[in-house]
Amino acid sequence: MLIKNNDDGFIHPVASEITPPAAYRGRRDLLKAMAAGAAGPVLAAWASREAFAQTQRPGKLAPLPGARSGVAGAVTMEKVTDAKDATSYNNFYEFGTDKGDPAKNAHTLKTAPWSVEVEGLVKKPARYALEDLVKLSAQEERIYRLRCVEGWSMVVPWVGYSLSRLIEKVEPLGNAKFVEFVTLADPKTMPFVGSRVLDWPYVEGLRMDEAMHPLTLLSFGMYGEVLPNQNGAPVRLVVPWKYGFKSAKSLVKIRFTEREPKTAWNKAAANEYGFYSNVNPNVDHPRWSQATERRIGEDGLFAKRRKTLMFNGYEAQVAQLYAGMDLKKNY
C-alpha cells in the first residue's frame, strides 16, 4: 500500500483467557521494582509483555468448524499457509502499518456485542446481531488464495458462507447496483484510526454481481476457529479474485447503493487502487510489477517467486463478470 512495511520476524505467543505465568512473574518483578524505586522501565517492559501475551492465535480461540464447500473453485489443493504466519503477518491499518502491528495491538478490539447494519436500497433493511448473522446460513470451509496488492500471497482455510445468502434475505431493490462495506472505526479501541494514512472508516465496495458471486465469502473464522482480531474479527469479507485490500475486515455496515461506492484506498490514491482491483498480472501497479508474488512462509534467499495468475487463479469462475470490459482502464 502507500507505506513500506517491515517484516518483524516476531514469534507471537499464545493467547490465554487466564493470566499467563509470565504475567504473574511480571507483576512480582514490578512490585519488587516499585519497592526498589525503579518502576519506570520495568513497568514499560511489563506492559508490553502483557499486550504480547494477549495476542490471539489459532489453537486458543472458540471452534467454528464448517463443512467443506461444494462451490466451484472454493477449495484449492495448494499447501495451506501456516496459521502462525497468516495470523502474525497482517494488514489492518486501524492497528498500525507494520505487518506485525495488528497481532500486537488488536487485542483491544471489542468484538462483543457486535452487530451489522444492512441498509440502503433493500426491501428488508435490518440490524443483525452477530449471533444471528453467524446462524443465517450453514458455515462452509473454503481454502482460498489471497493475493495482496503488495506482492505477497497466502492460502487460508476460511469459514463462512456466500455473501449472497445474506443479500437474498434482505431483497435488494431493482436500482441497487453496488454494495458498500463499512468497517469499524473506533478511536478508543483502534489506536491508528486517528492517523491520516486513510480517510476512516475503511470502506470497500463491490458491484452487485460480484457481491452475489458464490465465491464472495462473508467470513467468521479461519483454521476452524473464530477469526482472530488481527484477521478481521468478528466478521469480514473475503473476495479471492481481487487484491487483498478489497476483503474488508470487522464489518459494521453493508449498504446497497445505486452509485459506485467511494472506497478508502481509491480516495487515498485513485491512480494506484482502482474500484475493481481484480488480480491481474498484466496490469502493473504504477510503482511495481504485479507479474509475480511471494508466498508467505516460502521465504529465504533462494525461494522462487510464483507467477501471479489472472483473477488470482479464479478465471474460470469469474471472467464472465468482466466480459467486454477493458481491464486496463477498469483496474
List contacts with ligand MTE (CB under 6 A): 1, 90-94, 146, 148, 183, 202, 231-232, 244-245, 247-250
- Measured from the CB atom, the residue of 213 and 249 that comes closer to ligand MTE is 249
Query: With respect to ligand MTE, which residue has the nearer C-beta, 172 or 231?
Result: 231
Q: Given the C-alpha cell 436500497, which residue does it identify?
A: 121
Residue 1 CB, nearest distance to ligand MTE (Å)? 6
CA–CA separation, 59 vs 46, rounded Å? 25
Measured from the CB atom, the residue of 92 and 322 that comes closer to ligand MTE is: 92
User: How far is 156 from 25, CA to CA, in rounded Å?
Assistant: 36
Query: Shortest gap between Cβ of 144 and ligand MTE (angstroms)?
Result: 11
Residue 260 CB, nearest approach to ligand MTE (Å): 19
Outline where DSSP puts E strands in 184-224. 203-207, 217-222
Pick between residue 121 and residue 239 the one whose CB is nearest to ligand MTE.
239
Closest residue by Cα to residue 275 from 286, 287, 259: 259
Q: Which amino acid is at 286?
A: P
- Give the side-chain half-sphere CA count within 13 A for 182: 19
CB of 94 to ligand MTE, least distance (A): 6
Residue with smallest beta-carbon separation from ligand MTE: 244
Task: Tell me the closest approach of the beta carbon of residue 40 to ligand MTE, in angstroms.
Answer: 33
**Cα 199 from Cα 258, distance rounded (Å):** 22
Nearer to ligand MTE, 148 or 318 (CB): 148
Between residues 93 and 256, which has the closer beta carbon with respect to ligand MTE?
93
**Residue 202 or 223 having the CB closest to ligand MTE:** 202
Residue with the three cell numbers 504485479:
290
Instruction: Give the separation between CA 123 and CA 17, rounded to whole angstroms.
Output: 42
Cell of 265: 484506498
User: Which residues are within 8 A (CB) of 257 and not within 5 positions of it... i.e. 6 or more apart?
Assistant: 120, 121, 176, 177, 178, 179, 180
As measured in angstroms, the least distance from the Cβ of 174 to ligand MTE is: 30
Q: Tell me whether residue 30 or residue 197 sits nearer to ligand MTE (CB atom).
A: 197
Minimum CB distance to ligand MTE, residue 91 (Å): 4
CA neighbor of 157 nearest in space, from 70, 65, 277, 235 = 65
3-state secondary structure of 152: strand
Question: Least Å distance between CB 85 and ligand MTE?
Answer: 10
Q: Which H or E run includes 210?
A: helix 208-212
